Amino acid sequence: MTRRARFSPPGSTHRQRGAGALIVVLVLFFVMSLVAAYSSRNIIFEQKTSANQYRSSQAAEAAEAGIEWAIAMLNAGNVDANCQPVAAGGISFANRYLTIDTTNSATSGTMSAVTWPGPGGNVYQVGCVGNAGGGWTCQCPTGKNMNLGAAGGGITTPAFMIYFGGGGPGTIAINSVGCSQVDYVNCLVQAGGQLSSGEAVVRLNAVIALKGAVATPPSAALTVPGTVCATSTSTFTNLEPRVNGTTVDSGGGITVSPACPQPRLVSMPGTPSSVPPPDTWLAQVLNPPAAPTAPSTPAQFLQWVLGMPSTAGSPMYQQQPAAIRLACPADCAAANLVTVAANNPGRILWLTADPATGDVTIDSPAAVNIGSATGPIVMVVNGNLNVPTAAVTIFGLVYGNNNGGNWTVSGSPVVQGAMVGDGNLTAVGSPSVIYDFGILNLLRLASGSYVRVPGSWQGG
C-alpha cells in the first residue's frame, strides 16, 4: 500500500507552532527587565544615601575637630597667621580672639570675642582645611576674611571654621561650622547658605570655661604656713591698701635671731613695719588640730592656693593643658625661661629641681625679666630657688612646692606679684618680693587652662 505525502497549505496553524512560547519568553524578559530596573534604582538610591551619609559624617567630624582644635589652640602659646607656633613675636590664640575683663569689678572675669575693627563689629573667623597630606592647613587671620579654598587639597577636602559667641564670667561659646568640602561663600559663613550640590554642613557649639591658674591669690607679699628666717637684706614690700599692706603672712611667725636677722618690711605709710603676728589659721597646714578649719596638709594648701591637686596619685595641676613642665638644669637657664614665658602668656611654668643639687637655679649674666606686668606667669618651683648672679625679676606668683619642708630662696631674685611656700622659708642673700594686686588679679582671671563645660554641646 502506497502512502501519499500530505502538505499543509500556506498559512496553516501547523507552521505557527511555538508562537505562544515566544510570547511567554518575551513577557518573562519584560518582567525581568522591570525587576532589574527596580533593583538598579534601589542600588542608585543606596549609593546616593551612602554618599550623603559619608559627606554628613565628614562635615560632623570636621565641626567636632574644629571645637577640639580651638580648645587646644587656646591652651597653646603664640602663633602666626597660619596658626603655627613661633619662636619669637606672634600673639597667642587666646589674646588674638578673646578678651577678658580684669578691671571692672561688676563684670570681672567676663569673656567676650574680639571684634574686627571694621564697621559692623563682626567677630573673627578662624578655620582649617584638609590638605593632601592628611592633615589640616589653618589660618588665624587678624582680619575677617580667610582664603581656605586656595589652601585645600581638592574639591572634596573637608574644612571647618570656628568663631566665638556669647560669653559670661569665665566662660564663652565656641561655634564650629564643618563642611564636607571647602566652600567659604556658601558653607563657611556664620549664617549658612545654599550648599554646593550634594555637599553637607554641620554646625556645633559648646561652652568652654577658663580654669584659673590661681584660685586664691595671697594677700601678703610672702605667705608660708611655717616660720620665716631671712637676712637683713631680704625685702618684703606691700603698699596695697586693699589687703591692708600685709608684708609677711606666716603660720610660725618671723624668727629673729643672730642667724635670722630682721628682714626689711615695707608697708603703707602709717603702718608699723613690725614683725607680723603668727597666723594660727595658716599654722594648721603643718600642725593640724583635731578638727581643722583650714588646709591641714601641704597638698591641701597647694590646692587651696592654686585650685587643683598636685599629688603622686592626682597630679592634675602639673598635667593640665596650660602647664609647661621644665626640668633643671637643662631647661632653667634664665634666657630660656624668658623666651618660654614670652611665648606662652597666661600659662604655668612647672620647674623640677636639678636632682644633683635639689635646686632650681636661674642663672643669668645680666638682669632679665621673666614674664611681664601684662603677661605674668605662675612659676611652681619644686626644690630650692637659687638666683646666684644678676637680678632676675619674675612677674607673677612664685610657689615653692617642697612638701612642707624647708624652702630656701637664695641669691637676688625679685618677684613682682607674690611668693608662697608650703612649709618654712629660709631667705639667703637679698631676695625681694613686691606685692602686686593687679598681677595677681590677672593671674586669677586670665591665666590657666581652657576646658569644655560638660553637657554644653549642641548640634544644628
- The separation between CA 146 and the C-alpha centre of its own chain, rounded to angstroms, equals 23
From 110-119, 161-170, 189-198, 300-309, the region with the lowest mean pLDDT: 189-198
Structure confidence at residue 408 (pLDDT): 97
Please list, in sequence order, all residues whose beta carbon lies within 8 angstroms of the beta carbon of residue 316, skipping any fewer than 6 positions away: 308, 309, 310
Residue 120 has pLDDT above 60, yes or no: no
Q: How confident is the model at residue 311 (pLDDT cuts 50, 70, 90)?
A: confident
Identify the H or E element spanning 437: helix 437-446
Identify the H or E element spanning 201: strand 201-212
User: What CA–CA distance (Å, rounded) separates 437 from 170?
Assistant: 19
**Mind listing the pLDDT tens digit for each residue in 12-24?**
555 556 777 777 7
Structure confidence at residue 187 (pLDDT): 63
Mean pLDDT of the region 348-363: 96
Cβ distance 188 to 163 under 8 Å?
Answer: no
Mean pLDDT across the chain, nearest whole number? 85
Structure confidence at residue 145 (pLDDT): 63
The total number of residues shown for the chain amounts to 460
**Mind listing the pLDDT tens digit for each residue in 74-91?**
999 999 988 999 988 789
Structure confidence at residue 106 (pLDDT): 61
Closest by alpha carbon to 260, among 226, 227, 309, 225?
Answer: 227
Q: Residue 185, class by beta-carbon neighbours within 10 Å (0-12 exposed, 13-18 middle, 19+ buried)?
A: exposed
Residue 310 has pLDDT above 70, yes or no: yes
Please list, in sequence order, all residues whose beta carbon lies within 8 angstroms of the beta carbon of residue 276, skipping any fewer than 6 positions away: 246, 247, 248, 249, 250, 253, 254
Say whether 78 sits in a helix, a strand or coil: strand
Cβ distance 308 to 423 under 8 Å?
Answer: no
For residue 15, give the amino acid letter. Answer: R
**Mind listing the pLDDT tens digit for each residue in 163-199?**
898 888 999 999 998 888 776 555 655 444 445 556 7
Q: Which residue did the predictor score with more confidence, 135 or 41?
A: 135
Q: How confident is the model at residue 457 (pLDDT cuts 50, 70, 90)?
A: confident
**C-alpha cell recorded at residue 82:** 597660619
Closest by alpha carbon to 188, among 198, 197, 175?
Answer: 175
User: What CA–CA distance (Å, rounded) separates 260 from 296?
Assistant: 27
Structure confidence at residue 433 (pLDDT): 97
Structure confidence at residue 109 (pLDDT): 87
Report percent pLDDT > 70 for the chain.
Answer: 83
Structure confidence at residue 126 (pLDDT): 86
Task: Using alpha carbons, list the distances in angstroms from residue 4 to 1, 8, 9, 14.
Answer: 10, 13, 16, 19
The 8 Å CB, 24+ separation contacts for 428-431 are 428/231, 429/231, 429/233, 429/234, 430/231, 430/233, 430/234, 430/235, 431/234, 431/235, 431/387
Residue 327 has pLDDT above 80, yes or no: yes
What sections of 245-349 are H helices per DSSP?
A: 280-283, 298-306, 316-319, 334-343
The b-or-e profile of 74-91 (16+ CB within 10 A means b, else e) is bbbbbbeeebeeeeeebb
Structure confidence at residue 272 (pLDDT): 56
**Mind listing the pLDDT tens digit for each residue in 379-412?**
999 999 999 987 899 999 999 999 999 999 999 9
Task: Using alpha carbons, list the distances in angstroms from residue 69 to 73, 176, 209.
Answer: 6, 10, 15
Largest CA distance in the chain: 161
User: What CA–CA distance (Å, rounded) separates 23 from 103?
Assistant: 93
Residue 445 has pLDDT above 70, yes or no: yes
User: What CA–CA distance (Å, rounded) separates 361 from 356?
Assistant: 12
Structure confidence at residue 32 (pLDDT): 81
